[in-house]
């Protein structure tokens, strides 16, 4: 293997229970209940959120999986791209809002 991320490895996700089965079972049950069902949010809305989080967390496995999931729950490319922009703008905003801290400290440092 020449890369840390291999798309084929996504299939091995189910195998994370090899040394901690109960915890993995608990996780996958929770995962399925949250993502795989229509609740107060539809599966389509959840897939768009997951797509945005996938980008924010820079997870290539998740980006592939949730691009497909968005298509299979009926999202169109514009909606998917907007979800990524939500992730991007949140990250930019989070960076910029920290400048308030910088401004606060700057004030303390200036006579």
Partner 1 sequence: MTPVVQLKLAPAPSKYDFEGLLRSRGIDLPPLSIDTLQVNITKLCNQVCRHCHVDASPSRREMLSPEGVAKCLELLERHPQVTKLDITGGAPELHTGFDAFVEKAVALGKHVMVRHNLTVQLDGHPQTGESKEYLPQFFAKNRVEVISSLPYYQEYFTDAQRGPGVFKKSIEAMKRLNALGYGVEGSGLIFNLVYNPVGPYLPAAQASLEADYKRELKDKFGLVFNSLYTVTNMPINRFRQHLDKSGQYEAYMEKLLAAFNPAAAEGVMCRSMISVDHEGRIYDCDFNQMLELRAAGAGGKPLSIFDFDLDRVLGRRIRFDDHCLGCTAGAGSSCGGSTA
Minimum gap (Å) between residue 47 Cβ and partner 1: 10
Question: Nearer Cβ to partner 1, position 24 or 80?
Answer: 80
d(CA 76, CA 35) in angstroms, rounded, equals 19
Minimum gap (Å) between residue 21 Cβ and partner 1: 21
Across 72-97, b (16+ Cβ under 10 Å) vs e yields ebebeeeebeebbeebeeeeeeeeee
Minimum gap (Å) between residue 75 Cβ and partner 1: 8
Residues that bind partner 1 (CB under 8 A): 42, 44, 68, 71-74, 76-78
């Amino acid at each position: 293997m020449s890369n840390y991320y291999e798309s084929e490895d996504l299939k091995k996700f189910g195998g994370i229970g090899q040394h901690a089965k109960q915890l993995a079972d608990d996780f996958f049950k929770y995962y399925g209940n949250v993502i795989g069902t229509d609740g107060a949010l539809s599966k389509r809305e959840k897939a768009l959120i997951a797509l945005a989080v996938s980008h924010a967390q820079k997870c290539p496995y998740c980006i592939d999986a949730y691009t497909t999931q968005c298509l299979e729950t009926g999202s169109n490319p514009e909606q998917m791209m907007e979800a990524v922009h939500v992730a991007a703008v949140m990250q930019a905003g989070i960076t910029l809002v920290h400048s308030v801290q910088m401004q606060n400290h700057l004030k303390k440092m200036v006579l």
